Amino acid sequence: MVRLNTPHPTSNFTDGKLLQHNHINNPSNKNCNYNHTAINSRQYCRSHPNDRSNFKIFHQNVRGLIKNIDELSFSLSEIKPQVLCISEHHMRPEEINIINLDQYTLFEVCSTVYCRTHLKQGGVSIFVLDNVETDVIDLSNFGKEKDFEICAIKIQAKATKLLVLCTYRSPSGDFSYFLKQLERVLNKLHKISTNIILCEDFNVNFLDSSSKAPALESLLTSFGLEGTVEFPTRVTFDSQTLIDNIFLEKKSP
């Protein structure tokens, strides 16, 4: 179990899944904390080629990678994940291609990064440790700025194939379009022999049953995906919402 020594750390077990929870401050709003989620996925992903018992995937809405890179690097040094999923990196391809995150690299910029070209901010990316074997999954034809931003990688862990997806939808993004594209992607990728791990910031509050959450949960459940986070991931003085989550594919015994 990983212990976090950064401010206000908590950790939580949910249905046998190990979760870690912490926060990174949002520089544009001092009254709001933006949290990260991390899973030790050994119960679901079975093994990693180099470490059978300690494979971790970390997801962070960073709200600007450049200005928050020091705090992010500190969290990485404590958690030491093999895979790092980032939403809202706010960077162009030529910028994120040269970013330095110690031992973490972008496998192929065209596949493991989504950058906006017309609008500002947004974007998603997946970094992996240098020793993690990955393959390309090109989902560039599915993405649309603000409505559905996505990138993915495939990891071969001996007999287990892992598909790691990182997705983002802006609060003002077209929700119907987002649902349609997400279903298309899952239809393309869903296979019995593959484990899907979906790291997301959909800007849908899963603590509010009157919001868009039921339609989204229904879609994800139809593909055997279940959320691993049950606590608020974004906290202000007057609200608590769960809009960042990691969904794992529930396999039959």
Residue 4 domain-assigned (yes or no): no
Which residues span the domain enclosing 163? 10-249
| Integer Cα distance of 86 and 215 in angstroms | 25
Is residue 42 in a domain?
yes
pLDDT per residue as tens digits for the range 198-225: 999 999 999 988 779 999 999 999 999 9
What CATH number has the domain bearing residue 126? 3.60.10.10
Residue 3, classed as helix, strand or coil, is coil
Q: How many domains does the chain have?
A: 1
- Please state whether 195 falls in left (phi above 0), alpha (psi between -120 and 50) or beta: beta
Asked if residue 67 is part of any domain, the answer here is yes
The pTM of the whole model exceeds 0.85: no
Angle of CA points 237, 241, 243, to nearest 5°: 140
Please say whether the beta carbons of 142 and 35 come within 8 A: no
Within-domain flag for 3: no
Any domain includes 2? no
List, for residues 138-182, the tens digit of each pLDDT value. Answer: 999 999 999 999 999 998 766 678 999 999 999 999 999 999 999
Helical (H) or strand (E) element with 51:
none
Give a yes or no: residue 227 inside a domain.
yes
Residue 5 lies in a domain: no
**Cβ proximity of 124 and 87 under 8 Å:** yes
The answer to whether 197 and 189 are in contact (CB under 8 A) is no
